[in-house]
Structure 1
Amino acid sequence: MLLQIVETILVSLTGGLLFRLLHLPLPWMLGSLTAVMLWRLAAGRNLLWPVKIRNCGLVILGYLMGSSFTIGTSLQIIKQLPAMLLATSSIILFSLVIGYITSRRTGISLATGIIGSVPGGLTQMVVLSEEIPGTDLTVVTFMQTLRLLSSVFIVPFLVIHGLSGNAQQAIAATMPSVNNTVIQPHWNQLLFAFVAITAAWVAVKTRMPTPFLLGPLLGSAILVLIGFKAPYTPPFFVFISQLSIGAYLGLSINPTSLENWKKLLPYILGGSIAVVFFSLGIGLLLTRLHSLDLISAFLGTAPGGTTEMGLTAVLVGADVSLVTAYQMFRLLFILFIMPILLRWRFKGVAAK
């Protein structure tokens, strides 16, 4: 077991270092993801990456994202709730059209095509597919995996090598903080660490979606909003967060279990890319409606997920709080509204 974990670490570090040397976006996450996935498939190795290590990376990322909240950005979020609803509804409707086209062209069921195309979390959509009659769990997993991979590779590349070329965004993991420090820095670090860990535990107990990310995020945000100064986070912790999340995602992907992947592949990739650029268009519209920069608006609407887009926002110096708010709004909308709509739409499928 220990040797398997060590091998996974070495493979992850190799992939991350290669991506860094090639100046690719999110090198330690995408590099480790790619290296672990390819090494396991090509060499047939039985790698191991405990979920507890991944959870530690999510806690760090949750703190980074939550500590970026300020009173000013919170007021902006409340002001932009109609825009969030507009952006979320538009992207979901566009994804439903993509799912319908995919189902008609490939012969998979409509339920499978829709659930596989909706830009929710990979885990959440796979779990939802088990509750909707007429869905193929394997196909949904494959579609959501490719959608996720397309997003986490294309969106950071566009942001870092395209959109940020004309914007003076600092690629650094610096977090904003409030001016009134309530307690001393030493106790401040202990307080934020305690709250982040406790909030993660509470989120797990209350069955919150992605609890190890959202729990520390909410806990850290509350501390900042009531006046505590967020302590500086060394870049090493950002590196640990990327590596631990990337290695876990790499082990979660298993494309060999699908039989008709060649027929599905072009439609899934084409649909995923179309949704990414549709999100870019929605982001551009948001910059006209509100005083948002294009990078923050795009990352907020992009279909990559809260974890991946939040980490990208941290690294490029975007407005992390707004990016997180838009991503969380879409995630919660999908988790709470979509299951009701899908169950209503496909309630009679199983009987036919």
Structure 2
Amino acid sequence: MDLPFSPLIRARILCLLLGAIGGGVFYLVHLPLPWMMGAMTFTTIAAVSRIPISMMPRVRMVFVTILGIMLGSAFTPQMLDHLQYWAISFLWLGLYVVVTTYLVRQYYIRFAGYDEVTAYFAAAPGGLSEMILAGSAFGGDEARISLAHGARILVAVFVLSFGYRWLGGYTPTSANAAANLDPISYSDFLWLAGAGVAGFFGARLLRMPAYALVGPMIASAGLHVAGITASRPPAELVAIAQIVVGSMIGARFAGLPLRLVLRGIVLATGATGILLLVAVGFGLAVDATAKMPFSSALLAFSPGGLAEMSLIALALGVDAAYVSSHHVVRIFMIVVAAPLAFRLLRRKG
């Protein structure tokens, strides 16, 4: 007997169900970052196998908002003493964006045969939805730009999760480092909920990129830096957020031909390899000049999505405030600068 839901609702329920099953399987076999990796793997396989699954933008937005509150709770008053080192790291980040955009753009032109517009907006490391909109507005191939960014996130999550686990010795036992294991008081719950709501709607009103995460993170960080509250969301939400975010990564490939997805993943593997190699170099530079650990700097400069890289930082116990703030700044840089830079480059031929 069929469930009394529309096909779209069934596809969304199936997507989350497969994500939860995948996360559980990866957890049982002790793979790194199991809940997000498992959800991402199972839903990606389902998507390219033509199993009807669908994204849930509103559900993802809810958990991304909760993730923003979690990330804000990683900020402490003591971090104010390190802002001068963060400023140096942000300068390196700006150079990283310029270098990697140029290198990956050349890669997509020469090895993938993309046109100049599509290659440029596929190469800009971040702001998936913004780059798709801007690229299509300038005449780029929207499908290729979307696939390039979606596959880049997929490959980056796999490489970094396994790399930190097997090469860096990081284990997910510290996944609750930025979450609360004890019950939250009623007053602290109201503070955190208020930060989430105010941050969400305030950032949306200001049209900030990634407003569902950035706004709540800024509001929550303000509360924690001011010492108003030291509480954090429950630890179980970390695992649930990983399942939701991982499931949405896989669901991005639903409806696309298998051949197109596989080619996109192959091309994204090469592009991500370039981005990660450059990130290693910049991570070493930050380690030497800004007194930030290489493990934190590499994750801060890595070419994944804001929510995905922040979840990896939370799960592995890496400095989540440092990592997430750099990805927020990177997105702002790209969203503001990429279209302007493209106009200038095109005028100069």
Aligned pair partner of 1:130 in 136, 145, 149: 136
Do residues 145 (structure 1) and 120 (structure 2) align? no
In the alignment, the residues of structure 1 paired with residue 324 and residue 84 of structure 2 have an alpha-carbon distance, to the nearest angstrom, of: 13
Partner of 1:172: 175
1:275/1:269 Cα in 2 relative to 1: closer, same or farther (>3 Å)?
A: same
Q: Which amino acid aligns with 2:104?
A: I
Aligned equivalent of 1:302: 302
Please report how far the alpha carbon of residue 337 of structure 1 lies from its aligned counterpart in structure 2 after TM superposition. 1.4
Say which SS state the counterpart of residue 74 (structure 2) adopts: coil
Distance 1:75 1:123 in 2: 35
Q: Deviations over 1:307-337 (max 9, x none)?
A: 1111111111111111122211211111111
Aligned pair partner of 2:62 in 56, 63, 67: 56
State yes or no: 1:6 paired with 2:13: yes
Q: Distance in 2 between matches of 1:304 and 1:227?
A: 31
CA deviations 1:243-268 (Å, max 9, x no partner) are: 11122222122483597777666443
CA distance in 1, matches of 2:43, 2:264: 24
Contact 1:4 1:47 in 2 (8 A): yes
SS at match of 1:299: helix
More divergent stretch after superposition (103-112 vs 264-273): 264-273
Q: Structure 1's 85 and 234: CA in aligned 2 closer, same or farther, altered over 3 A?
A: same
1:98–1:271 contact (8 Å) kept in structure 2:
yes
Inter-partner Cα distance in structure 1 for 2:94 and 2:169: 24
> What is the Cα deviation at residue 189 of structure 1?
1.5
Secondary structure (helix, strand or coil) at the match of 1:256 reads coil
* Separation in structure 1 between the aligned mates of residue 233 and residue 265 of structure 2, nearest angstrom: 40
The 8 Å contact of residues 203 and 215 in structure 1, kept in 2 or not, is answered as yes
Unaligned runs of 5+ in 1: 178-183
1-structure distance, mates of 2:11, 2:268? 33
Report if the CA contact (8 A) 1:276-1:302 is conserved. Answer: yes
Q: 2:330, 2:135 → 1: CA distance?
A: 18
- Please, what TM-score do these two structures have when normalized by structure 2? 0.88
Alpha carbons of 1:19 and 1:346: their partners in 2 closer, same or farther (altered >3 Å)?
farther
CA distance in 2: counterparts of 1:313 and 1:262, whole angstroms: 28
C-alpha separation in 2, matches of 1:317 and 1:27: 15
- For residue 115 of structure 1, report the CA deviation from its aligned partner: 1.4
Q: CA RMSD in A?
A: 2.6
Q: Is the 8 A contact 1:280 1:298 kept in 2?
A: yes
Deviates most, 248-257 or 259-268: 259-268
Q: Which moved more, 1:278-287 or 1:211-220?
A: 278-287
The residue type equivalent to 1:198 in the other structure is A
Q: Which residue in 1 is equivalent to 2:321?
A: 321
Structure 2: which amino acid aligns with 1:191? Answer: W
**In the alignment, which of 28, 37, 47 is matched to residue 35 of structure 2?**
28
Q: For structure 1, which segment, 249-258 or 202-211, has the greater mean C-alpha deviation from structure 2 after superposition? A: 249-258
How many residues end up aligned between the 2 structures?
Answer: 339
Equivalent residue number for residue 289 of structure 2: 289
Instruction: Check 1:131–1:10 CA distance in 2 against 1; reply closer, same or farther (3 A cut).
Output: same
Partner of 1:97: 103
Q: Once the 2 structures are TM-superposed, how far is the Cα of residue 129 of structure 1 from its aligned partner?
A: 0.7
Change in CA separation of 1:169 and 1:228 when aligned onto 2, cut-off 3 Å: farther
CA contact (8 A) 2:155 2:272 kept: yes
Partner of 1:180: none
**Could you tell me how far 1:119 is from its partner in structure 2?**
0.8
Aligned partners of 1:111 and 1:346 also within 8 Å: no
Q: Distance in 1 between matches of 2:179 and 2:266?
A: 42
Q: Tell whether the 8 Å contact from 1:15 to 1:28 is kept in structure 2 after alignment.
A: yes
Which has the larger displacement, 26-35 or 213-222?
Answer: 26-35
Determine the structure 2 residue equivalent to 1:238.
238
**What is the distance in 1 between the residues matched to 2:348 and 2:257?**
29
Q: Could you tell me which amino acid in structure 2 is paired with residue 142 of structure 1?
A: L
CA shift for structure 1 position 238: 0.7
Change beyond 3 A, Cα 1:257–1:127 = farther
Matching residue of 1:332: 332
TM-score with structure 1 setting the length: 0.87
